[in-house]
Amino acid sequence: MNAKYIIRLDDACPTMNKDKWSKIEKILDKYNIKPIIAVIPNNKDTSMIVDEYDSTFWKKVKNWQKKGYYIALHGYEHLYVTQNSGLIPFNKQSEFAGLSFEEQSKKIKEGWEIFKKHDIKTNIWVAPSHTFDKNTLKALKQETSISIISDGIGLNPFIKNGFKWIPQQLWRFKNMPFGVWTICLHPNTMSDMDIKQMGNFIKENKNKFVLVDEIKYKSCSLFNILFKIMYWSLFKIKKAIK
């Protein structure tokens, strides 16, 4: 089985780097690639202020959706308030993990209301810094109609905790032998060379990109379990070396 790919673009907000996002969008449209775009509903993270405020931002998000891009709810304010890794131990900083259900529920509800205000529909969640916990999932169930989590480690999409999970395993373009791979990119910090490499990879592998709507989910398989064990073992070794 050949590998399949999904591109995820994080940190879309009114003060994103418009030039870089525009260059990436042109490449995606040239090859008819439909990414997941993680949109921050109410950005308060000063590191995300990299360009002048774009008053047309929400119209742009609406246009992305019309083109078939998959918009995801990317937290609420993108501010890290705990040092909790939650369910996925990549980072020890979180907007959600470690907070009470009530606190998380309030944030998610307010973010969801902003999406509704701008007529943005989504069924995908992307947590800032990959950090969230079971209270986050419970709050998503209560306050939204989100059914897909773009995160987690596995070779293929799976079903767990009442959600469909699309694993997110890569942060750069790499040829893989099999599996479904989400490549997470941060356009605001990508160099011109990064964008060029993205274009080259897509050109060479354009037939290997899949639509989120086409994804099939299975209950946790032995392959996913073994892959997850290997992935985290290597992650811990690399972290220890650093």
pLDDT surpassing 90 at residue 1: no
**CA quadruple 153, 157, 159, 164: dihedral positive or negative?**
positive
Cα 204 from chain centroid? 23
Cα–Cα distance measured from residue 167 to residue 6, given in angstroms and rounded to the nearest whole number: 10
Res 134 pLDDT > 80: yes
The rounded percent of the chain whose pLDDT value lies above 70 is: 98
- Mean pLDDT calculated for residue range 206-225: 88
Domain 4-241 -> CATH class:
alpha beta
CA 219 to chain CA mean position, Å:
21
Beta-carbon contacts of 22 under 8 Å, excluding residues fewer than 6 positions away, are: none
Q: CA 194, CA 196: separation in Å to the nearest integer? A: 5
Q: Do 24 and 194 form a contact (C-beta atoms < 8 A)? A: no
**pLDDT of 231 above 70:** yes
Domain coordinates in residue numbering, the chain: 4-241
Mean pLDDT, the chain, whole residue set: 94
pLDDT tens-digit map of 23-38:
999 999 999 999 999 9
Task: Please give the model's pTM, rounded to 2 decimal places.
Answer: 0.93
What confidence tens digit (pLDDT) does each residue in 48-97 have? 999 999 999 999 999 999 999 999 999 999 999 999 999 988 889 999 99
Q: How many CB atoms lie within 10 A of CB 206?
A: 13
Going by their DSSP bridges, the two strands 158-160 and 148-150 should be labelled as unpaired
**pLDDT at position 234, please?**
80
Residue 116 burial (10 A CB sphere; 0-12, 13-18, 19+) = exposed
Alpha-carbon gap, residue 210 to 73, rounded angstroms: 20
